[in-house]
Every structure is written in C-alpha cells, then in structure tokens.
Chain A
Amino acid sequence: MYPRQHLTTPLLQRPDPAVSIDSTTISRAKLGDIDAFTAIVEAYHQRCLRFARSMLRNPDDAEDMVQEAFVRLYRALPRYEERYRFESWLFQILGNCCRTANTTFRRVEARAVDDESIVERMPSADMPGRQFDEEWSTAVRTALAEVPDYNREIFLLHYIEGFSYDEIERMTGVRQSALKMRVKRASDYLRRRLAPDRQ
C-alpha cells in the first residue's frame, strides 16, 4: 500500500513549537502555584496522551498513566533543576510510568496479530478518502504496537515527539549508536508491515 498524499512536513521536526512553557511558569509551579501547574498540564497533556497511547500495550490506560506522570512531576517539582530541559524531564517520567505499566499488563491475544491478518486489514486504493485514512491510521497503530517496547519508545521520542538523539541519550542513558539502531529497527518494521508489496 502506498500513501496517497505527498507530505511536505519534514520528517524530523520539533512538533508543536508553540507549546512551550517559560521558566517563570515552571518556577511558580515549583513553589506550588496551582495555576502555573495547570498551565503546564494544558500545554503538555495532548502530547503526553499521544505518547502514552502509542507506548502502552493497553492504550485504554493512557489517561491514567498521563495523570500518574503529572502527579509524580508535581510532587517532584521542588527538586527540578533548571539545567534540565523540562520537556525531557516530563517525558522521562511518563516513559517510566508507561514502562512500569507495560511490565504488569499481560499481552492480550488481540495484539499478537499474524502477518496474514494485518495484510488483510490494509486499506486498498479504491477506498473512499476518509475510510482510507481511518484504515491507514488503524494499520499504522496496529503495526506500531507490534514493535518491541524498547524500540517503540525511542522511535516515538525521536520521530513523533521530536527529541534529538543527544536529548534521548540524556533521558534514557542509552548510547546514541544503540538509539539509532532501535529507531532503524522500528522504522524497518513499520515499512515492512505497511508496504509489504514493496519488499
């Protein structure tokens, strides 16, 4: 299957650049200012939810995990050091929450899709546009869910959340060479799954 549209957005970009929190807001939240903390949650909630839905083996837990991450962040804010990038810190906490949740969630059989079934669900070129988009979106998420957790997380941080390899190395402690390999493996897997007729 080939995408119908040609994309103009660059593959690697810092998503949602308008959504950033100034250091004053963070300092106020650090001192317990609930309005400042609310501004932080409003700024990052959508991105956190997007990340959690793709990271978790059970996407239904995403809202709970995002809430858990923000609660932990708020309680730990007093020891937040300005030299760390706030966004990296938030996603580091959220990643830890998701990883913990994944270790306790048993893989459901529905996720263990075989090659045949996913190919059958691929949208075909003669579908109406909207239906095609929905099918494509489902296929992408199904394929991504089959990528091993440790590759999926780095893929999401890099390509979807826009963190550089430098930042991810600081967040995870994993060396850049290993990070690039994980992203490549996740990318290769997605490509194989989403365009099997091109292999």
Chain B
Amino acid sequence: MTNSDNDPVLRRAIDDLRRLPPLDPEAVRRVVSAAAIARVSPAEDDDMIVAPPSRSLTVWAVVGIAAAAAFVGFALRGVWTSHASAPARVVASAPAAAKLRPIDMGSDGLPVPQQFVFENARAHRVSIVGDFNGWNAAKTPMLHTPDGTSWSVIVPMLPGRHIYGFMVDDSIFTLDPRAQKSRDADLGTEGSVVIVGRP
C-alpha cells in the first residue's frame, strides 16, 4: 500500500463510491426478460441461417454441386486463397445458392453461402455459433458426414468479417483449427475468423 492509499480523503471517497445501489427486483426481471428474448427470438440476420432439414442426400447433393462449381470457378479464375484469407472452406457458388434459397449472388451486400467443416468423430452433436446467429447453439446444427469423421453446414452470411466457433455436445466451445483466431473486440474471448466475400 502506497502513501496515497493511506490518504484519508481518498479512503473516504472510495468508501462512498463502494456503496451499492439497492437491489431492484423489477430491473432484474427486465434484464432477464430482455436476455431471454434476445436469445430465443430471431436475430437481426436470423432469416439468413439455413438449418439443414435432415441428414438427407439432398443437402449433400447441394454441397457436392457447390463444391464442384466453386472448384471450377476458382480454377478458371486462377484464384486460390490461403487459409489466412479464407479460413472456412468456401464451396458455394451460384448454383448452390439457388438451391438453398433465391439469393442474388450478383448483388453486393447479399448473403454468400459458406461451408464450415469440423472434424470430430467422437462428438454426438455439433453446431456452429457466431455473431451471425446470435451465438445460439440451437440455431445452426451441423450434419455428420457419411464417413462419420466430420461435421458440416452451409450458412449464408453477409459479406464481411465474422467471428465464430463450434459448440460440441452443447457444452464445449471449440475454435476452428483451420481458421485464424481473433480476440473478439466486444466480448474479449477468442474466436475463429471468417472473411466472407467474393474472390
């Protein structure tokens, strides 16, 4: 403790500032209600989230078509991006977008389908959480791949930088080992980064 810490004026001021306001049960109720609504109600961009309906061949057909289309598109343009610039595998293109929902891929500011793949053979459930779905583990479940080694989902995302992670078995938050990590400026914890935009 320094000399300044022993100053009686400062000590009295600190003692005064430490006085707690009374607990307001009504304010607590308002906070809890607001939080509950925010977590269960659709986020601002909630309608952009495409939750896979079931483990059907249809979804994997879409993924396959998207992957093929993206591969061809990238190869023709001679553009290959590293993990640093495109952490999540971008496999969607116009045909895939058309099958997911009518998205005009030619206009700026519209959602771009992104595929996320997470390798974990032991998990029972995996979902993706991020700023695009309100960090809600219930909103975007991932599908087990047929070989049982990975989980995958396609998420239409607005162009820009997004922070995300994977929620394993509803309880373990895991970063994407393929992606860059970033400390979330808002919440302080680390998240994986995906930059959404056209190549």
* A-to-B contact residues, CB < 8 Å: 1-3, 5-7, 9, 11-12, 15-16, 27, 30-32, 34, 37-38, 41-42, 45-47, 49-50, 53-54, 63, 66-67, 70-81, 84, 89, 92-93, 96, 136-137, 140-141, 143-144, 156, 159-160, 171, 184, 187-188, 190-191, 194-195, 198
- CA A136 – CA B10 in complex, angstroms? 12
9 contacts between A and B (CB under 8 A): A30-B171, A32-B39, A50-B18, A73-B35, A78-B137, A81-B189, A96-B187, A137-B16, A191-B9
Evaluate contact between A11 and B135: CB separation under 8 angstroms.
Answer: no
| Tier of interface size on chain B | 35 or more
Q: Interface stretch among B19-27, B114-122, B152-160?
A: B19-27
Are A49 and B21 CB-contacts (below 8 A) given A11-B11, A79-B191, A89-B189? yes
Minimal beta-carbon separation of B188 from chain A (angstroms): 5
* B-to-A contact residues, CB < 8 Å: 1, 4-24, 27-28, 30-32, 34-36, 38-39, 129, 134-138, 165, 167, 170-171, 173, 185-189, 191
Are A9 and B15 CB-contacts (below 8 A) given A41-B31, A188-B4? yes
Residues of B within 8 A of A92 (CB): 187-188
Report how many A-B pairs have Cβ atoms within 8 Å.
157
Evaluate contact between A187 and B4: CB separation under 8 angstroms.
Answer: yes
Minimal beta-carbon separation of A180 from chain B (angstroms): 9
Evaluate contact between A42 and B28: CB separation under 8 angstroms.
Answer: yes
Minimal beta-carbon separation of A164 from chain B (angstroms): 14
Evaluate contact between B4 and A89: CB separation under 8 angstroms.
Answer: no
Evaluate contact between A72 and B186: CB separation under 8 angstroms.
Answer: yes
Q: Identify which of B6, B23, B134, B188 contacts A93 (C-beta below 8 A).
A: B188
Evaluate contact between B12 and A5: CB separation under 8 angstroms.
Answer: yes
Are A78 and B187 CB-contacts (below 8 A) given A71-B35, A136-B16? no
3 closest Cβ pairs, A-B complex:
A3-B12, A74-B35, A79-B173
Evaluate contact between B4 and A191: CB separation under 8 angstroms.
Answer: yes
- CA A15 – CA B18 in complex, angstroms? 8
New A-B pairs, 12, CB < 8 Å, besides A76-B189, A190-B9 = A37-B32, A45-B23, A46-B22, A75-B38, A75-B134, A78-B167, A79-B129, A79-B165, A79-B173, A79-B189, A171-B188, A187-B10
Of B7, B30, B136, chain A has the most CB atoms within 10 Å of the CB of B7
